């Protein structure tokens, strides 16, 4: 298989594994505050390869949990501080179709509360491969802002590359006002070249402490 093709196949397999773990973690736990729309913020999303899978899975889980026949629409916002990644995500996903609206925004996750663009409450804030090792203080702020952006029954979901980094992020989230709901290990996660680093190795879900 050529390099490019192999890379695409790996990404697709990573996505299937992430989907399986999200179903495990989020089943029976998601509700949309609005009767018609599920609002998802994918923060620090980079190129946001998970956008399509994430909106589809979260929408299904929320619909099942509501026990409704009618479908929910999804308002999906992907945000990252890097412009290049956001324009690639926007190019790949487009504006959305079949009940999903995508918006990709260049945002500093430490300054969301100052942002008129992101006023709405989100049912899910998702942070994939948080980077606590690269700046703990910055991530404390980003997690605090993520919790602030949640609707009253909203959930913050994170994934991590490393066990230890995951523990640090969990501690940080609890410190800034999150309550851990569940923490799971992805035993099928793909190992990367760096020792101990795996794609979506750990996942955790939090609610905002009242």
Question: Which residues are near ligand SAM by CB under 6 A?
Answer: 44-46, 80-82, 85, 107-110, 128-129, 131, 138, 142
Least distance from ligand SAM to the Cβ atom of residue 81, Å: 4
Burial class (CB in 10 A: 0-12, 13-18, 19+), 17: middle
Least distance from ligand SAM to the Cβ atom of residue 97, Å: 23
Cβ proximity to ligand SAM, 109 vs 154, nearer residue: 109
What sign results for the dihedral spanned by CA atoms 165, 24, 109, 10?
positive
Coil, strand, or helix at residue 98? coil
- The phi, psi pair for 192, rounded to 5°, reads -105, 175
Cβ proximity to ligand SAM, 46 vs 178, nearer residue: 46
Least distance from ligand SAM to the Cβ atom of residue 35, Å: 30
Cβ proximity to ligand SAM, 21 vs 110, nearer residue: 110
What is the rounded distance in angstroms from the CA atom of residue 176 to the CA atom of residue 157?
15
Nearest to 61 by CA among 96, 29, 90, 16: 29
Least distance from ligand SAM to the Cβ atom of residue 145, Å: 9
What sign results for the dihedral spanned by CA atoms 121, 111, 81, 202?
negative
Cβ proximity to ligand SAM, 33 vs 168, nearer residue: 168
Least distance from ligand SAM to the Cβ atom of residue 63, Å: 25
Cβ proximity to ligand SAM, 42 vs 73, nearer residue: 42
Strand extents, DSSP E, the chain:
37-43, 73-80, 100-106, 122-127, 150-160, 178-185, 202-208
């Amino acid at each position: 298989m050529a390099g490019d093709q192999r890379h695409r196949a790996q990404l697709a397999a990573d996505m299937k594994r992430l989907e399986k773990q999200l179903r495990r973690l989020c089943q029976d736990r998601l509700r949309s505050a609005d009767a018609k729309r599920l609002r998802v913020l994918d923060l620090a999303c980079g190129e946001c390869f998970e956008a399509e899978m994430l909106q589809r899975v979260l929408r299904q889980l929320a619909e099942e949990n509501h026990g409704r026949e009618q479908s929910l629409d999804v308002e999906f916002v992907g945000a990252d501080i890097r412009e290049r990644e956001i324009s690639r995500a926007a190019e790949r996903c487009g504006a959305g179709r079949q009940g999903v609206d995508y918006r990709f925004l260049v945002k500093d996750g430490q300054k969301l509360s100052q942002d008129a663009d992101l006023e709405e409450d989100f049912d899910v804030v998702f942070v994939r491969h948080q980077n606590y090792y690269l700046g703990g203080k910055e991530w404390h702020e980003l997690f605090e802002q993520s919790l602030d952006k949640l609707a009253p029954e909203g959930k913050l979901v994170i994934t991590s590359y490393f066990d230890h980094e995951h523990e640090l992020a969990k501690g940080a989230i609890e410190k800034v006002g999150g309550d851990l709901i569940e923490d799971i290990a992805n035993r099928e996660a793909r190992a990367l070249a760096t020792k101990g680093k795996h794609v979506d190795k750990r996942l955790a879900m939090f609610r905002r402490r009242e």
